[in-house]
Amino acid sequence: MQGVREKTLHGCSSVYWVSGTEYSAVFDTGFPGDYPTLAEQYKEFVTNCPPLKYLFLTHSEMAHCGNTALFLEDFPGSIAVGDVTDLHLVFPEYVDRLEFADPGACYDLGATEIQVVESVFRDMAHSRWFFDTASKTLFTGDGYSFSHYHEDGACGHLVEEIEDFDIPPSLSRFSDAAFYWSNFVDVETVIARLDEVVLDELDTRLIAPAHGLPIGDPVATVPHIKEGLRVNRSGGVVRTGAYADDSYRSGR
Ligand SMILES: [Fe+2]
Ligand SMILES: [Fe+2]
């Protein structure tokens, strides 16, 4: 939360909980400072859910995995899965409960599966996205991230529920602060792959980013996201080919 031009700018780090019939899963674990609030929230429903088995981590940055050890401690039957690069150094006591996962891997929750998907928007080399097959929800971590003003009345809503919400400048503003590198890659390569993966291959119905409002109508809203990605904020040189290789698919 930050004061900007007499308004309050919100940039959240969302943590999502999904339950199948056998197991539950959490998507990213959020900032350590937020854990008391998270624990307060999940204790309201956790006793009615199947056991938490998986912590799916999009990438090993503090905003996305800072609470991993706290979740592992509170849920002894759980493991952390996804981009766990370097987390054995951060949480050495839990090294045997960290599992690196490549795109294509699948985890059964009962009545739904979680597929590991390539992260089209990669803040780190081995960033991962996750797809819930039953609800067709795509958990994108830093992908599709944008801020909003508290005065917009946007907190707790899908982006489509906010009248006249202007996505391109919101996405551009957040990218400038958090993903400055995105000024220097061939964004059209990213955009083309977004369409292929999110709409054509997965037929995504709900996009759940860590830092933006969930997107409930991807077909209608993604064009505005693309417009925001096309804003070259630095005026710098746009390099091509930065996303052309597939080295992110495996290794660590
Ligand atoms: Fe990130
Ligand atoms: Fe992030």
**pLDDT tens series, the chain, 252 aa:** 555 667 888 888 999 999 999 999 999 999 999 999 999 999 999 999 999 999 999 999 999 999 999 999 999 999 999 999 999 999 999 999 999 999 999 999 999 999 999 999 888 989 999 999 999 999 999 999 998 888 888 889 999 999 888 899 888 888 888 888 888 888 888 899 999 999 999 999 999 999 989 999 999 999 999 999 888 655 544 444 444 444 444 444
- Ligand 2: centre distance to CA 48 (Å): 30
* CB-proximal residues (5 Å) to ion ligand 1: 61, 123, 142
Ligand nearest to the CA of 119: 1
Q: How far is the CA of 177 from the centre of ligand 1 (A)?
A: 11
Sorted by sequence, the CB contacts under 8 Å of residue 121 that are 6+ apart come out as: 127, 140, 142, 143, 144, 190, 194
pTM of structure: 0.91
Supply φ then ψ for residue 26, to 5 degrees.
Answer: -115, 145
Closest ligand to the CA of 63 = 2
Q: How far apart are CA 14 and CA 66, in angstroms?
A: 12
- Closest ligand to residue 13's CA: 2
Distance (Å, rounded) from C-alpha 91 to C-alpha 134? 32
Query: In this structure, are residues 26 and 55 in contact, taking their beta carbons and an 8 Å threshold?
Result: yes
Ligand nearest to the CA of 211: 2
